[in-house]
Structure 1
């Protein structure tokens, strides 16, 4: 069910943020990557996404962020968005009619994802796939979750950041968007740097060093100052393999199988 005034149901970042914030006056480039976020707390966006590389790219219109305030679609005088679980139990569940109306207002090109601890683990491969598409629509859950019927109706994919539970999906949504937006062409000046990051080739990233050459009695490994690019590359690969083997045996087994 749509709210009485539909024009207030779908809020862009221009409407939900103060004039001093990013995108208040910034036009979106043609064919920009779009993120649409359904949330009870639109004021929490762009959050950290408004800073550093993602913030600059947002200001320049390389990507666009739109928030849809779930509360505006709520029922009755108090804009109620939840109800008790069918079958009993603690907590509250987001109503399908309320969430459904918000998703109809928010949906655009690209997949529709629900941030959920029971979802498919989010990884670098998914970030690359999302960045290569036109955009994404994200649903941030709260309370005990969302009525399953609305997830089935919109064929939403559930995505998890890990085996832990947050109070809501907003932090997870920002993390997913940060990992994805930085892979959009033009966001990072030197895209070659993303090719050597953790998970880019199935391994954790090798250790990094910079000046000064000595700090607290610790020195930069000699190979990194040798000027021998072949030795440097071999050292970095060996370090990445050793770290992955020690810290992420699951990744190491997957990587090892790829080489068989």
Structure 2
């Protein structure tokens, strides 16, 4: 799949695309990333991409025309049929919050997307109204620009591609994954067996696989119940909790002060 990124700071993406385990997805072409410097599509000696907002107020607003020219260049290079065009995605506070299901949908989309990294106070609304098809938010906070949000989406998509992680099934045991019924993951331990006076939970040292898996399941249930009860409720409503799960949760509830 191909992702085109419109940004004022393409150099920010260089270490991101060349370091870490997900670089395999970019180097292999499983996830193709093209960087487009917006200033190259601006006019004048200063390559201006922003101006003061009508009506006054603080900050600057990104100009529609350089964005339109850059988008047209991307569409021309992609040479897509109208019905198969990759959507233009803007990272924005009004967008739908990104979650695992959303990442999975992008991972399954062969067309990929065009990712627009906004800056300043935002974009001229007329460009948004005419061209933006999808808006995405990472959460209820504001970043200085969309680059970090774009990297987050690219990283999440890349790690779902076959062969990118050392263990092909590793991502299936991630928090929020349907393989874990959408629950949070359990705690993990490694050597030494005792550290700072604290030992490893006995089930993990038992060598009994069924016992280990039950302990991990119960830890996922307990962690989710404590930190994200909304996820636990969704799993319950979806019929993904067993009687044994419910018995454990009931016991946990009785132990609460």
TM-score (norm 2): 0.83
Corresponding residue to 2:230 among 229, 233, 250: 250
1:43 aligned residue: 11
Q: CA RMSD in A?
A: 1.7
Question: Is this contact kept in 1: 2:40–2:47, CA < 8 A?
Answer: yes
Q: Report which of the two has the higher share of helix.
A: 2
Match for residue 20 of structure 2 among 52, 60, 63: 52
- Displacement of 1:112: 2.0
Give the counterpart of 1:123 among 75, 78, 99.
99
Which residue of structure 1 aligns with residue 65 of structure 2? 97
CA distance in 2, matches of 1:163, 1:220: 37
The partner residue of 2:46 within 47, 69, 78 is 78
Is 1:66 paired with 2:34? yes
- Return the index of the structure with the highest Cα Rg: 2
Q: Does 1:217 align with 2:213?
A: no
What is the deviation of 1:48?
A: 2.4
Q: Could you tell me which residue of structure 2 aligns to residue 26 of structure 1? A: none
Could you say if the C-alpha distance between residues 98 and 60 of structure 1 is closer, same or farther in structure 2, counting changes exceeding 3 Å? same
Structure 2 residue 171 is matched with structure 1 residue 194: yes
1:118 is displaced (CA, Å) by 2.3
SS state at 2:22 partner: helix
2:198 equivalent to 1:230? no
CA deviations 1:37-90 (Å, max 9, x no partner) are 000011111332321211233223332221111011113221111122233322
TM-aligned CA deviation for residue 156 of structure 1:
2.3
Quote the Cα distance in structure 2 between the aligned partners of 1:153 and 1:185. 36
CA distance in 2 between counterparts of 1:238 and 1:255 reads: 14
Mapped to 1, the partners of 2:132 and 2:9 lie a distance apart of 24
Secondary structure of the corresponding residue to residue 89 of structure 2: strand
Please identify, of 199-208 and 181-190, the stretch whose mean Cα deviation from structure 2 is larger. Answer: 181-190
Query: Number of aligned pairs?
Result: 228
Change (3 A) 1:220 1:110: farther
